[in-house]
């Protein structure tokens, strides 16, 4: 990866966090909450400005990665006048819920805007490569045992010509447990292999994945607008399914820390502007969805306590809530450190 692609990745991820924090800031100010600090980055302050008649100090720090806003009264450990009408706890329940939800909402809105821009210009649509080209071979599968390699082109199966992955499936599916002759084109040479498809829920599978390529389409404005609204929610459903799979398999392989995300974004930047924006769409939705999870210290965790107030008509104990969020922060930091350590190890190994 080039230094330029790495810098682009840092700026792209930071932009998504700035969008998130701007959602909190704009809604908080709309409800006349006092926002003390709007910071881009962390560490020593390089630039600071407080507009006239504004309670907010805008600053840029030495480590221009991520961002945060400080709303008066949100941190129970800070000192504030309990009778101050402009602090977070003294605003209406609706105002507090809207302010917390505005961060994830801003990420979903940003994702929709990006989807619309890509859709009316060049939306990437994946299609299978023809002829039937092997992209990868499942380790331990029948194809792997027979010697099939990535890049091989399967041209025949059971004496029948194969043009694409659908024809390969149609021939292989009814032959579970039956030795079958396959013909491979490997770098221009004809290779004949005998493979016995494995039984997978009553269907034969040899364990190869077909190569795909991107085809770009331009959508009409109306279709693009509808697509832009629906796509972020479709991505969310995929992410929920992914979390469910991680839980059922008891694995964290689907999680990526700052290093892993940076690598993904940097690689997409090297493939062009469309691929870069496409990845930002997924990350923006992921950031919004992740923050809505009912985990202490996240926006979703704060919404749980506000939901409790909405249902019971009484506020939760402030000391208890502060303790829960503190534990949540420590837990999240621990997860981030572990995942980042794993990503760094993988980067060195690869």
| 12 domain-assigned | yes
Same-domain pairing of 282 and 299: yes
Same-domain pairing of 240 and 296: yes
Same-domain pairing of 138 and 45: no
| 272 domain-assigned | yes
Q: How far apart are CA 304 and CA 326, in angstroms?
A: 15
Same-domain pairing of 245 and 109: yes
Same-domain pairing of 153 and 298: no
Predicted pLDDT of residue 220: 94
CB contact at 8 A, 182 and 145: no
Same-domain pairing of 241 and 164: no
The tokens for 110 are 């940003």
Same-domain pairing of 118 and 140: no
Structural domain of 109: 3-123+231-349
Task: Give the alpha-carbon dihedral of 138, 144, 149, 150, to 10 degrees.
Answer: 0
| 91 domain-assigned | yes
The last residue of one of the domains, among 146, 176, 210, is 210
| 222 domain-assigned | no
β-strands 198-200, 203-205 pairing: antiparallel
What is the helix (H) or strand (E) element at residue 191, kind and residue range? strand 189-195
- 208 forms beta bridges with 137
Distances (CA, A) of 77 to 67, 95, 314: 21, 21, 21
For 325-343, the DSSP string reads HHHHHHHHHHHHHHHHHHH
Q: What is the CATH number of the domain that holds 161?
A: 2.30.42.10
Same-domain pairing of 340 and 261: yes
| 220 domain-assigned | no
| 277 domain-assigned | yes
Same-domain pairing of 58 and 96: yes
| 225 domain-assigned | no
- 133 forms beta bridges with 153
Task: Say which residues have a Cβ less than 8 Å from residue 340's Cβ, sequence separation at least 6.
Answer: 257, 258, 259, 260
User: DSSP state, 133?
Assistant: B
| 168 domain-assigned | yes
Residue 177: helix, strand or coil by DSSP? coil
Predicted pLDDT of residue 257: 63
Q: How far apart are CA 139 and CA 251, in angstroms?
A: 19
Same-domain pairing of 328 and 280: yes
CB contact at 8 A, 57 and 50: yes
pLDDT in tens, the chain (350 residues): 677 777 888 788 889 999 999 999 999 999 999 999 999 988 899 999 999 989 999 999 988 777 899 999 887 677 778 889 999 999 999 999 999 999 999 999 999 999 999 999 988 888 889 999 999 999 899 999 999 999 999 999 999 999 999 999 999 999 999 999 999 999 999 999 999 999 988 899 999 999 988 788 899 999 999 999 999 999 999 888 888 877 776 666 666 666 677 777 888 888 788 888 988 999 999 999 999 999 888 999 999 999 999 999 999 888 888 888 888 888 877 777 777 777 666 666 55
Predicted pLDDT of residue 25: 97
Predicted pLDDT of residue 349: 55
Output helix, strand, coil percentages for the chain, rounded to the nearest 5.
55, 20, 25
Predicted pLDDT of residue 263: 76
Same-domain pairing of 96 and 144: no
Same-domain pairing of 183 and 306: no
Domain count, the chain: 2
The last residue of one of the domains, among 210, 239, 260, is 210
The tokens for 256 are 């990526």
Residue 149: helix, strand or coil by DSSP? coil
Question: How many Å is the Cα radius of gyration of the chain?
Answer: 26
Predicted pLDDT of residue 85: 92
Predicted pLDDT of residue 161: 96
Longest dimension (CA), the chain: 84
């Amino acid at each position: 990866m080039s230094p330029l692609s790495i810098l682009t990745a840092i700026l792209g991820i930071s932009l998504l966090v700035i969008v998130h924090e701007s959602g909190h800031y704009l809604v908080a100010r709309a409800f006349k909450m006092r926002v003390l600090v709007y910071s881009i980055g962390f560490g020593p302050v390089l630039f600071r400005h407080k507009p006239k008649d504004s309670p907010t100090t805008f600053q840029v720090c030495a480590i221009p990665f991520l961002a945060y806003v400080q709303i008066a009264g949100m941190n129970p450990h800070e000192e504030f006048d309990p009778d101050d009408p402009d602090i977070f706890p003294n605003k209406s329940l609706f105002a507090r819920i809207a302010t917390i939800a505005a961060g994830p909402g801003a990420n979903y809105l940003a994702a929709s805007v990006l989807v619309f821009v890509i859709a009316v210009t060049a939306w990437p649509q994946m299609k299978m490569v023809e002829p039937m080209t092997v992209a990868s071979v499942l380790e331990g599968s029948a194809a792997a045992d027979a010697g099939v390699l990535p890049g091989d082109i399967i041209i025949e199966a059971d004496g029948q010509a194969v043009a694409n992955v659908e024809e390969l499936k149609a021939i292989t599916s009814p032959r579970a447990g039956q030795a079958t002759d396959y013909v491979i084109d490997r770098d221009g040479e004809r290779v004949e292999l005998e493979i016995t498809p494995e039984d997978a829920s009553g269907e034969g599978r040899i364990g190869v994945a077909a190569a795909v390529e991107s085809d770009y389409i331009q959508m009409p404005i109306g279709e693009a607008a509808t697509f832009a609204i629906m796509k972020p929610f479709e991505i969310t459903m995929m992410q929920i399914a992914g979390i469910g799979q991680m839980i059922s398999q008891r694995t964290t392989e689907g999680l990526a820390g700052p290093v892993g995300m940076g690598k993904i974004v940097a690689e997409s930047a090297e493939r062009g502007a469309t691929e870069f924006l496409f990845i930002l769409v997924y990350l923006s939705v992921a950031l919004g969805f992740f923050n809505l999870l009912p985990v202490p210290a996240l926006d979703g965790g704060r919404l749980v306590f506000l939901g409790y107030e909405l249902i019971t008509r009484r506020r939760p104990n402030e000391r208890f809530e502060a303790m829960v969020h503190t534990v949540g922060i420590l837990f999240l930091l621990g997860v981030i450190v572990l995942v980042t350590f794993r990503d760094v190890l993988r980067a060195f190994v690869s």
